[in-house]
Amino acid sequence: MTINILHLYPAEMNLYGDHGNVLALKKRCEWRGIKTKIINYEPGDEIPDNVDIIFGGGGQDSSQSKIEKDLQKIAPKLKEMIENNTPALVICGIYQLFGNYFETNTGQKIQGAGILDLYTKGEDERLIGNVVINTPEFGEVVGYENHSGQTFLADESIAFGTVISGAGNNGKDFTEGIKYHNCIGTYLHGPILPKNPRVADFLIRKALENKTKKFQKLEPLNDALERKAHKSAAKRPR
């Protein structure tokens, strides 16, 4: 069995170590004897039908402008996959563009994919620093944020977590990210998955369940190093 991981726009959207999330998924699969295939998607490519996990990272406003038209082209297929419970992790720039729109601090409006019910407005102040959030499904999650965009969820949307330390979506309402079906949107860089293995294993388990059509219990791994990294990140001052 092979888990196919679709990496969206790795050339343009790969800030702050986000590629490390793909490597973490790959290694955690390999340690369990599960094969993986990384499919790098760039503008103009075709998205295969056998995608098991979707990943997209962060990028500058200029990078988001470069991929805007292509993302509009593939948005229906991505939306169909998300609605069919394909697990996904989208961070910062791609998180913003999975929403309805992103209005930069210069007034430019970048159209989003409309997959997640949210919008983002750029501000002059950047929200930067270490973040600790509490999530209902994964407990404490840690990461690092660096974004000028402030994201606001629709009333019916469910946040990924509640901010304990840091700014989160907008620095105002104590929400961080979004959880929609098996898709997680978040501002947490770092990368997030090596320090939060429960989140990584959620994506892997859901991918396996979609392929096998039955519940999957993953083989436990020795996460001592991951737990140490998590604790260290949680103690860092903002």
Task: List the catalytic residues.
Answer: 92, 189
How many beta carbons lie within 10 A of that of residue 25, not counting itself?
26
Structure-derived torsion over alpha carbons of residues 200, 204, 206, 212, reported in degrees to the nearest 10: -170
Residue 107: both structure tokens together: 């007034």
Please choose, from the candidates 193, 143, 148, 192, the residue with its C-alpha nearest in 3D space to the C-alpha of residue 170: 148
User: 134: which strand partners?
Assistant: 140, 162
- String of DSSP letters for 47-113: PPS---EEEE----HHHHHHHHHHHHHHHHHHHHHHHTT--EEEETHHHHHTSSEEE-TTS-EEE--
Q: Tokens 């402008």: give the residue.
A: 65
User: 150: which strand partners?
Assistant: 121
Report the number of secondary-structure helices (H) and strands (E) in the chain.
Answer: 6, 12
User: 143: which strand partners?
Assistant: 131
Look up residue 145 and give its amino acid. E
38: exposed, middle or buried (Cβ count in 10 Å: 0-12, 13-18, 19+): middle
